[in-house]
Amino acid sequence: MKRIQYHEYGGPDVMRLEEFQPARPGKGDVLVRVKAAAVNPMDIGIRRGRLKMVTGRTFPRALGHDFAGIVEEVGDGVTQVRPGDEVIGAAGLKAAGAFAEMVLVEEKSVVRKPKNLSWDEAAALPTPAITAYLALTKKGRLKAGQSVFVAGALGAVGRSAVQLAMMMGASVGGSCRATAVQEAHDLGLSPIVEFDFDASRYARRFDVILDTSGQLPLTSAKTMVKRGGHIVDIQPAPAKFVRAALPGPYEVLVANPDRADVEQMVRAAEQGVLRIPIACVVPLDSAIPALAEFERRTGPKGGKLIITPEPARSVGLRSAARSDPPIAPRAPEQRPRFPGVERGQTDRGPVPQRSVATVQLRRQQRERARTPPPTPGGLDAASGAHASSSARPTTMPSGPRTYASRKMSS
């Protein structure tokens, strides 16, 4: 069996694809044959040693948390899944090991995969979706009818938060890069602003401010939040916990979900209202360079980097065969609702429809109208990152020029 592991904390050069012997599942453990694993920023942070107080100094250490796969073997006392079941899961923070052919996890870390999700879509969900859900519900205490602002609305956590907040009956605005305004618009966001927007235009507009990037100035968040509202930061740091302990709207989240939270996520995905787009799928054999590019942020934007232990040729073949339609935003009355979400006070008024990004949006619409449609099988069709949330793209394109073209095409 192969997996990506490292023998010391450090940069991309410490990663190795090596043989390993998966342990037999102990009491309460589940051994899963990985079909797809998704890369998260925390995988990089952990490998760099940022959590070594928790993850320790025993090497080699495995990499990767979120995965989808098939249960191979279960240990004593496992009741929720059995061999052959298709599951979604997240490996423990310390054990990790999803960038592999096999991963060993606790039973509480896996749930059944809905049939309507592809392996890649399923693997993309666990950490971002659960973080978004906990940020909105446990820290943001979001209620139906309230308004949410998501800073970094098109990242994996941000996009999950947008979709879940809409599902909870909230109105959602957010920030994104100028080149991604059309995509934010398609997702149903309003208002849409760029990262360096003027917060004073949205004073006291939002019940919940969720900063997924750690880049939203606290003064801006405080300007925008309503009295009694919540500002949720998901970039924990010791000083932030001190600040969060003080009276006021500021909260810090460290996602630590229970099984019920995970089940909620899966239900939302099953109902078709929660998807994280896939930017790129790479085979395990060539995942290390892709991870390095992800880390330098020169990799594809607008979706997840997925690693699959399946051979490269089958990735390409399946990609060409897939034709699932993209997830389109639904009208509020058509959105499935989470059970038990309380109704909150309605917003004081409609959120401003015009935003600092409106000019850019119009310009992009004009440019799109002039651009000929992409050729089937060409770069745009293959990327699927912005055009479709579920098309399985081909293997990692090479070189920064490809990414620039991909970005221009978004």
Ligand X SMILES: NC(=O)c1ccc[n+]([C@@H]2O[C@H](COP(=O)([O-])OP(=O)(O)OC[C@H]3O[C@@H](n4cnc5c(N)ncnc54)[C@H](OP(=O)(O)O)[C@@H]3O)[C@@H](O)[C@H]2O)c1
Interaction residues for ligand X, span 74-133 (CB under 6 A): 127-128, 131
CA-wise closest residue to 284 among 254, 307, 318: 307
By CB under 6 A, name the one of 212, 308, 355, 388 that touches ligand X: 212
Question: Considering only CA atoms, which of 129, 140, 70 is closest in space to residue 103?
Answer: 70
Q: Which residue is nearest to ligand X (CB)?
A: 155
CB of 270 to ligand X, least distance (A): 22
The residue range among 12-20, 55-63, 218-226, 229-237 that interacts with ligand X, by the rule CB under 6 A, is 229-237
* Residue 34 Rama label (left phi>0; alpha psi -120 to 50; beta): beta
* Total residues interacting with ligand X, rule: CB under 6 A: 26
Verify binding: residue 385, ligand X, rule CB under 6 A.
Answer: no
Rounded-to-integer distance, Cα 379 and Cα 402, Å: 8
Residues in the chain: 410
CB of 252 to ligand X, least distance (A): 8
Token pair of 101, please? Answer: 């052919």
By C-beta, is 115 or 297 nearer to ligand X? 297
Query: Which range touches ligand X (CB under 6 A), out of 66-74, 93-101, 210-218, 349-357?
Result: 210-218
| Residue 147 binding ligand X, by CB under 6 A | no
Should residue 241 be labelled a site residue for ligand X when binding is judged by CB under 6 A?
no
Q: In angstroms, what is the C-alpha Rg of the chain?
A: 21
Of the candidates 48, 2, 252, 299, the residue with the CA atom closest to the CA atom of residue 139 = 252
Of the pair 81, 307, the CB lying nearest ligand X is at 307
Q: Which of 235, 345, 371, 398 binds ligand X (CB under 6 A)?
A: 235
39 binds ligand X (CB under 6 A): no
Judge contact between 385 and 300, C-beta under 8 A. Answer: yes
Binding map of ligand X across residues 149-188, x = CB under 6 A, - = no contact: --xx-xxxxx----------------x-x-----------
Token pair listed for 303: 């979706």
- Does 383 bind ligand X (CB under 6 A)? Our answer is no
Is residue 41 at the binding interface for ligand X, with CB under 6 A as the rule? yes
User: What is d(CA 159, CA 170) in angstroms, rounded to the nearest whole number?
Assistant: 14
Binding residues for ligand X restricted to 299-318, rule: CB under 6 A:
301
Residues numbered 252-271 forming contacts with ligand X, rule: CB under 6 A? 253-255
Segment lying near ligand X (by CB under 6 A), choices 7-15, 139-147, 208-216, 377-385: 208-216
Give the span between the Cα atoms of 265 and 273, in whole angstroms: 10
Task: Choose the binding region for ligand X from 248-256, 327-335, 342-350, 371-379 (rule: CB under 6 A).
Answer: 248-256
283-302 residues near ligand X, rule: CB under 6 A: 301
Tokens of 317: 């073949």
Q: Does 59 bind ligand X (CB under 6 A)?
A: no
Residue number, 40 or 390, with CB nearest to ligand X: 40
Applying CB under 6 A, the span of 221-229, 250-258, 283-291, 356-364 interacting with ligand X comes to 250-258
Residue 102 identity: M
17, 42, 178, 218: residue in contact with ligand X (rule CB under 6 A): 42
Q: Which is nearer to ligand X, 31 or 36 (CB)?
A: 36
Position 386 contacts ligand X (CB under 6 A): no
Helix (H) or strand (E) holding 280: strand 278-283
Least Cβ distance, residue 351 to ligand X (angstroms):
18
Which residues form the interface with ligand X (CB under 6 A)? 40-42, 127-128, 131, 151-152, 154-158, 175, 177, 195, 212-213, 215, 234-236, 253-255, 301
